[in-house]
Amino acid sequence: MNRLLLNKIVITLSTLAALMGISFLLWILVTLSIRGYHSIDWHIFTTDLVNNGLRNVIIGQFILAGIATVIGVPVGMMAGIYLREYGINSKFAMIVRNLSDVMMSAPSIVIGIFVYGIFVVPFGGFNGWAGVIALAILMIPIVVSTTDSMLSLVPQELREAGIALGASKAQVIYKIVLSAAKIGLITGVLLAFARVIGETAPLLFTSANNNFFSFGLSNQYPSLTVSIYHLALFPSQTSQNLAWAGSAILTLLVLFINLITRFIFKPRKQK
Amino acid sequence: MKLAIQTKDFSFTYPKTKEATLKGINIPIYANKVTALIGPSGCGKSTLLRSCNRIHDVYPGNSYDGEILLYDNNGEKAENILQYKKENDLINLRQRIGMIFQKPTPFPMSIKDNITYGLKLSGIKNKTELLDRTEIALKGAALWEEVKDRLNNSAMGLSGGQQQRLCIARAVALKPQVLLFDEPTSALDPISTASIEALISELKNELTVLIVTHNMQQASRISDYTGFMYLGDLVEYDVTETIFLNPKEKKTEDYITGRFG
Amino acid sequence: MLFNRFFRGLSHTSAWLVLTILFAIIIVLFHYSKSAIGDFGFFHFITNSKWIVGNDGNGGNFGGLIPILGTFLSSLIAMVFAIPIAMGIAIFLTEIAPEFLKAPVGIAVELLAAIPSIIYGMWGLFYFGPLLQSWFGGQSNSLLTAGVVLGIMVIPFMAALSRDAMNTTPSVLVESAYSMGATRYEVIKDIVFPFAKKGIIGSVILSLGRALGETMAVAFLIGGVFRFPDSLTSATISIPVLIANNFGEAGNLQLSAMFYMALILFIISFFTITIAKFYFLRKTD
């Protein structure tokens, strides 16, 4: 075949593929906007699921993901610090690094039923804490990996300079290394939060769902994503509209966080 | 003397920059001679070299002005290569004007496939012809004896100097009219450098060489003509001896004697 | 000094915790699977196509063949759909797109990757599934719908990883091929692809790992019916969907069988991801 023709064909096909990818994104976003526009009103934000509102489940989702972040980030960050600052290339550090990497891609439903096994069965029923733990477990490997790679970008001279001034290793890490890597770490935490706040599968059998407003994490706990799942499959127009409203809110939130991190991180990159 | 290339009021501007990197360059490149371009970094010598085979066009947004004339083998008829628009014209141009880069660039394939790559692109399919031309090219690059027993091994296994000679052989195999060298020895040790220089001097029997170098000894050793460039201008162009022994411009003298650059 | 030791101790413990969680997952899954493993063994379980709850609600005859098949088939369709498009996007982003398009298209692709999977499920359920049904007949919720939407979900992930791999090709090498008179396509085929081969294969396998374990989108779209798919457009079930749909009301043995399924899924995805990460995507620093 003619070389130039083949070249043109491949270029055209690749461009079409890119167009196709973008049109899927647009298609989903447009669908969400239209359906969301028609189903979101103030009523949704002021009433709970039991009255066809989403107030309790949105707040519930934030609380679940928020507490998961409060647990997952320190653990993940400290583990990441160990890998980069103490263990570095020791066998133990390499094993943890690799296995954490693998855990990052583990199916989230498996994490969900693992937590069911240790936090639901022994305590006799679905509870908010189990949901929190499941999300935290999902989050830890993500935070480990970003911490590890962000700290690796901090120049070694900075650490040496700190040690040379007589700071202890912990002080060097705490005061110098972490603040040098601050922006990257914040970005990582935000992205990890965005990832877990959109999770459904790990919550299905841990915190499950609740129609009412609740701060009691020892009972079934309201969740936006689990609500969307149940509402969407329920054969009633009201439920499905509510599911679309929830989907639009969730997507807006997740994309918003993603775009924010892009702007936080950008000036740093240009330097 | 026959001309191979001649630029006429040639200017070049990179995308998103206001000022032209090359401003109204007029330089003749004579056939079967070695012409060297020297000058401090950022003077535009590589930009000029890279204009001659339009490799800049791999990246969008550059603008050319003026003419670069490429003569036929008799030095009579010339075409302005800046007028080429079609991909096919650029492909033909690049097969007529080969290029050797700063770092050796063996492709991730066997030694033989590296040499036959360009030949196959130009439409040669006959296996014996491919093998013959591989042998001739490798012999021409003084590499045949070293690699003839491992032609099917990966080219990545060769030493830096061997890789660079392989790249020369790869370019020579296409029987180009002109070879462009962009600081071809800057990544090599002195022994490999000497062998590349010897090779360049030999190549001019068959083709025309335009070489960018930051090494003035190298320019004086291998070139017949030298152009000194500074801040996007061709300050002085002459026979190499004249440039090095008796430069007309103060700037040239300062640079050659090491007062700046 | 106390702070120093405390800090180090805390970070060491956290690192251990990561390992502990991983082992705990395996142990807990295994613990709950034991009665199903005892009753059905391994080969019998994975070749048995029945999933029948006993009369007393606790016993029954459970086999994993259909969900395993559903998982692999839907992921296979996803790969067939995703690979060409993801490669096209990666090629577009590295070799074709003009500078001013690279960033916005790149961002769009990454945003596509950030959308929660439940949203893909909603979209597939109400829009894409019915569309596929109107083209190909059969059922709206089917192996095909689940596979294609799964494919759309992994496209951005695969494209981004492949693009990163292709971007590692040194630009001199690319220029060098152009200077031999190669066309853009030839440069991609002969230089960029061979150079990035490992990374590209790794990105495909990693995406496969994602597809195998994806729950929510598939739960909406595969139909959730326990039967052999007799065509692409008929409904079936996958491992995650089996768990998501039946876990809540399962009796003892069924629950154990589902843990067993989860254990199998975890091991399959563990190996898939390990191969991708440590053979193909190993960072060479």
The average pLDDT across C69-82 equals: 95
Residue B101 per-residue DSSP state: -
Residues 106-165 of A with CB under 8 A from B: none
What lies within 8 Å, CB to CB, of B186 at 6+ separation is: B102, B214, B215
Residue C28 burial by CB count (10 A; 0-12/13-18/19+): exposed, middle or buried?
buried
Is-contact B230 B40, C-beta < 8 A?
yes
pLDDT of the residue at A115: 96
Flag if C219 and A250 touch (Cβ within 8 Å).
Answer: no
pLDDT at residue C31, rounded to an integer:
95
Cβ C206 vs Cβ C214: under 8 Å: no
Pairing of strands B233-239, B225-230: antiparallel
Task: Say whether residue B168 is in contact with chain C using an 8 A CB cutoff.
Answer: no
User: In chain A, which residue's Cα lies nearest the Cα of B122?
Assistant: A3
pLDDT at C285 over 70: no
Q: From the candidates C96, C99, C102, C180, which should be mutated to test the interface with B, based on the most B CB atoms within 10 A?
A: C180
Chain B residues lying within 8 Å of A7, measured CB to CB: 87
Distance, in Å, from the CA atom of C102 to the CA atom of B60, rounded to the nearest integer, reads 12
Residue-wise pLDDT for B76-108, tens only, equals 888 999 999 888 888 889 989 999 999 899 998
| Nearest chain B residue (CA) to C94 | B59
Q: Measured between CA atoms, how close is B95 to chain C, in angstroms?
A: 5
Contacts of A77 in chain C (CB under 8 A): 14
Instruction: Please tell me the distance from the alpha carbon of residue C67 to that of residue C151, in angstroms, as a whole number.
Output: 18
Confidence of residue B248 (pLDDT cuts 50, 70, 90): very high
C-alpha C279: how far from chain center: 18
Query: For chain B, how far is it from start to end, CA to CA, in angstroms?
Result: 33
C76 has pLDDT over 50: yes
A267: number of Cβ within 10 Å: 9
Q: Do C180 and B170 touch (CB under 8 A)?
A: yes
Chains that touch B (3 or more CB pairs under 8 A): A, C
The nearest alpha carbon in chain B to A2 belongs to: B123
Residue type, A109: I
Q: Which residue has the tokens 């012409």?
A: B35
Instruction: Kindly determine whether residue A4 and residue B121, on different chains, have CB atoms separated by under 8 Å.
Output: no
Q: Which two tokens stand for residue A78?
A: 């400290």
Q: Does residue A60 surpass a pLDDT of 90?
A: yes
pLDDT for B129: 93
Q: Do C274 and A141 touch (CB under 8 A)?
A: no
- Mean pLDDT value across chain A: 90
pLDDT, position A203: 95
Size of interface A-C (CB pairs under 8 A): 261
Judged by CB atoms closer than 8 Å, whether chains meet at C194 and B109 is answered as yes
The owner of tokens 């000094």 is C1
Pairing of the two strands B178-182 and B97-100? parallel
The CB-side HSE value for A175 (13 A sphere, CA atoms) comes to: 13
CA distance C226 to C52: 10
CATH class, range A42-263:
mainly alpha
Secondary structure class of C237 (helix, strand, coil): coil
Which chain A residues are Cβ-neighbours of C35 within 8 angstroms?
A: none
Query: Of C159, C193, C197, C166, whose CA–CA distance to C82 is shortest?
Result: C159
pLDDT value of position B261: 60
Does any CB of chain B come closer than 8 Å to the CB of residue A1?
Answer: no
> Which chain C residues are within 8 Å of A174, Cβ to Cβ?
7
Does A265 have pLDDT greater than 80?
no
Instruction: Spell out which residues of chain A touch residue C216, defining contact as CB-CB under 8 Å.
Output: 200-201, 225, 229
The residues, ordered by sequence, that sit 6+ positions from A46 with a Cβ below 8 Å of its Cβ are A53, A55
A199 CB-near residues (< 8 Å, 6+ apart): A108, A135, A138, A225, C116
- Chain C residue numbers with beta carbons less than 8 Å from the beta carbon of A237 are none
Q: Looking at the predicted structure, is the pLDDT value of residue C57 above 50?
A: yes
Q: Is B44 left (phi over 0), alpha (psi -120 to 50) or beta?
A: left
pLDDT(A270) > 50: no
Give Dmax over CA atoms of chain A in angstroms.
71
Using DSSP's 3-state secondary structure scheme, residue A127 falls into coil
For the segment B159-170, the average pLDDT, to the nearest whole number, is 92
Q: Is the separation of the CB atoms in C128 and C146 below 8 Å?
A: no
What is the rounded distance in angstroms from the CA atom of residue B157 to the CA atom of residue B164? Answer: 12
CA-to-CA distance for B54 and B93, rounded, in angstroms?
8
3-state secondary structure at position C137: coil
- Given a cut of 60, whether residue C206 has pLDDT beyond it is yes
Provide mean pLDDT across the span A78-100.
91
Residue of A15, A86, A105 best to disrupt the C interface, most CBs of C under 10 A: A105
**pTM listed for this prediction:** 0.86
What are the structure tokens assigned to C211, written together?
């597809």
Cα angle B252-B253-B258, degrees, rounded to a multiple of 5: 100
User: What are the structure tokens assigned to A62, written together?
Assistant: 């934030």
Of all residues in chain C, what percent carry a pLDDT higher than 90? 67
Residue C244's Cα: distance from chain center in Å?
16
CB contact under 8 A, C175 and B58: yes
Inter-chain contact C119–A93, Cβ cutoff 8 Å? Answer: no
C26 neighbors C44 (Cβ within 8 angstroms): no
Q: According to the 3-state scheme, what is the secondary structure of A49-84?
A: HHHCCCHHHHHHHHHHHHHHHHHHHHHHHHHHHHHH
Instruction: Decide if pLDDT at A269 tops 70.
Output: no
Residue-by-residue DSSP string for A90-108: SHHHHHHHHHHHHHHTS-H
Q: Which of C227, C224, C239 is nearest to C29 (CA)?
A: C239
CB contact under 8 A, C118 and A7: no
Please tell me the predicted confidence (pLDDT) of residue C59.
Answer: 82
Residue A271 has pLDDT above 50, yes or no: no
Tell me which of B171 and A270 has the higher pLDDT.
Answer: B171
Query: What is the nearest CA distance from C259 to chain B, expressed in angstroms?
Result: 47
A211 band by pLDDT with thresholds 50, 70 and 90: confident
Q: Where are the CATH 1.10.3720.10 domain residues in chain C?
A: 67-249+263-281
Task: Residue B99: name the closest of B175, B177, B37, B182 by CA.
Answer: B182
Between chain A and chain B, the number of residue pairs with CB atoms below 8 A apart is 6
Express each pLDDT in C232-255 by its tens digit: 888 999 999 999 988 877 788 999
CATH topology of domain C67-249+263-281: MetI-like fold (1.10.3720)
CB of C210 within 8 A of CB of C277?
Answer: no
Identify the contact set of chain C against chain B, taking CB-CB distances under 8 A: 98-99, 170, 172-183, 186, 190-191, 194-195
A3: chain B residues, CB-CB within 8 Å? 91, 121
On chain C, the residues whose CB falls within 8 A of the CB of A87 are: 15
Find the angle CA(A259)-CA(C107)-CA(B15) to the nearest 5 degrees.
115
Q: In sequence order, what E strands does B3-106 have?
A: 3-13, 22-30, 34-38, 63-71, 78-80, 97-100
Rounded Cα–Cα distance for residues A241 and A1 (Å)? 53
Taking CB atoms and an 8 Å cutoff, what residues of chain A touch B121?
3
Residue A7 touches chain B, beta carbons under 8 Å: yes
Q: Which residues lie across from C52 on neighbouring strands? A: C61
A contacts of B91 (beta carbons < 8 Å): 3-4
Q: How many helices (H) and strands (E) does chain B have?
A: 10, 10
How do residues A234-264 score in pLDDT, each as one tens digit?
989 999 999 999 999 999 999 999 998 888 7
**Residue B208: both structure tokens together:** 């025309």
pLDDT at A157: 86
- The complex's ipTM works out to 0.91
Task: Tell if the CB–CB gap between C99 and B171 is shorter than 8 Å.
Answer: no
In this structure, of B7-11, C194-198, C280-284, the range with the lowest mean pLDDT score is C280-284
**Does the pLDDT value for residue B240 go beyond 60?**
yes
Cα B118–chain centre separation? 16
C117 contacts in chain A (CB < 8 Å) = 198, 200
Those residues whose C-beta lies under 8 Å from the C-beta of residue A138, and which sit 6 or more positions away, are A68, A72, A108, A111, A195, A196, A199, A202
Inter-chain CB proximity B92 and C186 less than 8 Å: no
> How many CB atoms are closer than 10 A to CB C19?
16
Instruction: Name the neighbours of C, counting chains with at least 3 Cβ pairs within 8 A.
Output: A, B
**CA dihedral for C54, C60, C61, C67, sign (positive or negative):** positive
**Helix axes of A3-39 and C143-167: crossing angle, nearest 10 degrees:** 120
**How far lies C44's CA from each of C60, C61, C64, C254, C255, in Å?**
14, 11, 9, 16, 18
Confidence of residue A1 (pLDDT cuts 50, 70, 90): low
Contact C235, C142 (CB under 8 A): yes
Cα distance from C204 to chain B (closest Cα, Å)? 22
Q: What is the pLDDT of residue B108?
A: 86
* Number of H-type helices and E-type strands within chain C: 13, 2
Residue B3: predicted pLDDT: 92
Q: What is the pLDDT of residue C283?
A: 60
Q: Is residue A268 pLDDT above 80, yes or no?
A: no
Average pLDDT over residues C176-205: 92
DSSP state of B41: T
| pLDDT tens track for C212-223 | 999 999 999 998
